[in-house]
Amino acid sequence: MAEKGFDIQEYMTRGVERVVADSVKVTLKNPRESAFMARFALASKMASQKRKKAEKEGVHIPPFLIASITSSCNLHCEGCYSRHNHATVDSEPVKQLTDDEWEKIFREADDLGVSFILLAGGEPMIRKGVLEKAAGISNIIFPIFTNGTFMTEKSFEIFDAHRNMIPVLSIEGEKDITDARRGEGVYEKQISNMDKLCERGLIFGASVTVTTENLKEVSSKSFLDSLAKRGCKLVVFVEYVPVTDESKHLAPDDEDREYLKGEIDRLRREYEEMMFVSFPGDEKSSGGCIAAGRGFFHINSHGSAEPCPFSPYSDINVKDTSLKDALRSKLFLALQDGGILADDHQGGCVLYEKRKEVEALLA
């Protein structure tokens, strides 16, 4: 349970400050990246001041937003939560937010003091128009979580011209385990992308879905060395959330998470030029889950504001209201006040495990 008196605003501000400081540190040997990160550090401070001002007025603004900008994807990764939730489909998308509607969301997020918008999908590189809109908002960093299969020379040109756009390439470990989950040839494509990004001096990251089957491999020296030598500066470990009862065995348990936490502490010491982030990480130390606007929230491809990508429930759409009002939706406030986010749970995602309670709040 969350400790009494826990200050989520202070916790998240410290977290953002650490991310920014680490970002500056890992780009010191790259003049263009370092110059951008120095400017972003100033923008991040101003954003923090906006969030503190809003807090005094009774409105909590999280520093992170996850934007699933499309429901299209060319891959069928094993155990994909997005396909299981029908957020990603094979049919032609309909009534998705337009490029201009996404730009409106990004600019309002900037005005509110959001510092990071994680672009996801589906496969976000499909929405080139949305990426171009995001590129023009330099106060916000846009990590793009991509399977890499749509990356072209034009993509590299955009990343070069707009340093706030940071590709985060999905990889599950070495070739066998990556291709087993994502499809034949995906590993080689991602490695090729990394090499091209490195050649151009562009900062990039890797996103690793952590399961009980690859936990040891993705935290191993051989795997991290292979990323480091290609110039990877960020590794995001995302704990697998089971989408069926049959896949529960793949979800890390408390012992696995404790092991991962220890490994991340070690990796931060050994790889000083890389950043390591774990999601959801140790929720106990953060006063419970930080979804539903406490630390981040999710806008799906049709504009519905959801607690997080793993909890596809919504009672409000940003097409009909402001981002600020969406953050104060009845569902978000009920989740924040009702204790569900701080409840003890078995898996890595309390909202997924307690989805019946979330559905009851909507009902």
pLDDT tens digits for range 229-249 = 999 999 999 999 887 778 888
pLDDT at 304 over 90: yes
Tell me the average pLDDT across 321-340.
91
- Which residue in 307, 302, 299, 304 sits closest to 352, CA to CA? 307
Higher pLDDT, residue 284 or 295: 295
CB neighbour class for 254 (10 Å; exposed up to 12, middle 13-18, buried from 19)? exposed
The pLDDT of residue 282 is 59
- The residues with which 116 forms a beta bridge, in sequence order, are 64, 141
99 contacts: CB under 8 Å, gap ≥ 6 = 127, 129, 130, 132, 133
pLDDT at 226 over 80: yes
One CATH from 3.30.70.560, 3.30.2320.20, 3.20.20.70, 1.20.210.10 for 8-362: 3.20.20.70
Sorting pLDDT into bands at 50, 70 and 90, what band is 5? low
Mean pLDDT rounded to a whole number for the chain: 90
- Which residue in 141, 68, 125, 138 sits closest to 102, CA to CA? 68
